[in-house]
Structure 1
């Protein structure tokens, strides 16, 4: 894992951050985390779609053409011989004198990507995990996958300190998503998740799960729901890249449903695994 993608070249990994890089000083940039299974990307095109959208929303021009970037990322996986893990990719607005406004047009964006070994949470997928509740203190454009993640970090740390898999976020009484994943509940056989608006990130795994629900004719509602709805749901599960689909069986000290993964969550877990296998075969 000693090679990284830096702009348009694959080079040896080394310290590259310039003190005046706007990603370092302002969090002025966007990123993606792309899952790799058995040496193959999963839903790579969808991740690049979202990267392009995020960049457009913050008026950032990507430094590489889409086709070139995809080829470079595939080469990065090959040269690092990554079989199971993720590729982290970020683009900042580049290195410029520190002013809050955008730098001049001759400032070049900085693109960096690297590979990381990472396994899926298979034990939690099969047996379920736990979560905590905490207030959503993030900004109002959570649909953009920016580098500004300190509120997410603080929420995840709360979960880690309580030996939980995730921190589920709420704005007032309404559940939005989690610190690094989307949240679904199941009530009377219906899957419910927050609408993909400015308050949540429209996760790539989230989208695949909605496709799976459609294939299995599981009713889905993209609508807001409350803390009480979450705690009294028949099932709860979370989704994210490489976390995949994890049933949540306890939130704080409150058991969800029977306290074990429910039938719909298990069906989606197995179907998601199958969809990965189909794409990499």
Structure 2
């Protein structure tokens, strides 16, 4: 049974495991951006972690849309978290919050970044395409960014190659080509980044991946 509650009243089931998975989605003008792609990745994460989901993707999509409508927000961040119980069945929570616009100065002057000591896991250790709740590396990287008084932290892999930031994919335009690190370095194949590359190709720009 689903119900809507205020954020201050939200509780987790006990015992709640940290080995769940999640997706964070952006809603524009009352519509969740690339919902199907997010659900595909979410169910792949569930399968990777061995968590049973009682809802079909279509049923879950309806719940997400219903939660967004109930919030009355047009510009929002929609986050779904799935935590396994003792039988590995998923308990579902959906949080809808107002989208906070990025500072105008970021677009005018750019942002301050720093490479942090925390390294990404090798793809032979943990599948980077699974978005699981226990993200200690990202927590440590954010703490390091705050200590250095920068806006974002950049991860390297074990060999020193640039991979991604704590919440975004990375890319650069050089000589008319959009270049980004390949996923085999241990980074997430971002859904928003896929949209960026789709737009770039549609405008005739070459797109490639390179360590």
Q: 2: CA distance between counterparts of 1:220 and 1:120?
A: 28
User: Retained in 1: the 8 A contact 2:53–2:89?
Assistant: no
- Aligned residue in 2 for 1:129: 111
1:66-116 Cα shifts (integer Å, max 9, x gaps): 11111111111111111222011011122x2xxxxxx4xxx5321111111
Q: How does 1:1-281 map to 2 (within 5 A)?
A: 8-13=1-6, 14-22=9-17, 27-94=18-85, 96=86, 103=87, 107-121=88-102, 123=104, 124-140=106-122, 141-171=127-157, 172-197=159-184, 199-224=186-211
User: Retained in 2: the 8 A contact 1:142–1:198?
Assistant: no
1:137-191 Cα shifts (integer Å, max 9, x gaps): 3433222111011110111122233332211111232001111111112222222
4+ residue segments displaced more than 6 Å: none
Q: Which SS does the other structure have where 2:128 is aligned? A: coil
Q: 1: CA distance between counterparts of 2:39 and 2:185?
A: 19
Shift of 1:15: 4.1
| Number of aligned positions between the proteins | 203
- Largest Rg, 1 or 2: 1
Q: Which SS does the other structure have where 1:176 is aligned? A: strand
User: Retained in 2: the 8 A contact 1:143–1:197?
Assistant: no
Q: Which SS does the other structure have where 1:121 is aligned? A: coil
Q: 2: CA distance between counterparts of 1:166 and 1:128?
A: 11
Please tell me the root mean square deviation across aligned C-alpha atoms, in Å.
1.9
Shift of 1:118: 1.9
Q: 2: CA distance between counterparts of 1:192 and 1:150?
A: 28
Unmatched tracts of structure 1, length 5 or more: 1-7, 97-102, 225-281
Shift of 1:122: 5.5
User: Retained in 2: the 8 A contact 1:32–1:47?
Assistant: yes
Shift in CA distance, 135/188, structure 1 to aligned 2, threshold 3 Å? farther
Q: 1: CA distance between counterparts of 2:210 and 2:76?
A: 32
Shift of 1:52: 1.2
Shift of 1:198: 6.5
Q: Which SS does the other structure have where 1:16 is aligned? A: coil
Q: Which SS does the other structure have where 1:129 is aligned? A: coil
